[in-house]
Amino acid sequence: MKKIIVSAVAALGMLSVAGTGSAGDLQGEMTRCLTKHANTRQAAKVTLECTASAGKLSNCKVVESEVPSKGFEAAAICVAGALPMGGKSGTIRVPLRFTGA
């Protein structure tokens, strides 16, 4: 099974999903969300607006999307809960790119 990669850029800095640390956990969550909501062979771009607090994202909503189906929007919101935010807080935009297989 090919790995699915998401890249995310937060308003205050870049998040590397394929980086170190909890990348395996994030990759697993990404695969779970895509398998549940969207076609993993297709590519898509979704931008979310979320509230960052205590290292996590909440109250995410889709503000832009270039997707072949609505399932990618649901997958993006699903993945947002697993993205590490560090010390960021407030309302931020999170662009996500699903590369497809």
> What is the pLDDT, as a whole number, of residue 95?
95
HEC profile of 3-46: CCCEEEEECCEEECCCCCCCHHHHHHHHHHHHHHHCCCCCCEEE
CA 55, distance to chain mean position in Å, is 15
pLDDT tens by residue, 12-55: 233 333 333 456 788 888 889 999 999 888 899 999 999 999 98
Q: What is the pTM for the complete model shown?
A: 0.74
Domains, the chain, ranges and CATH? 6-98 (3.30.2420)
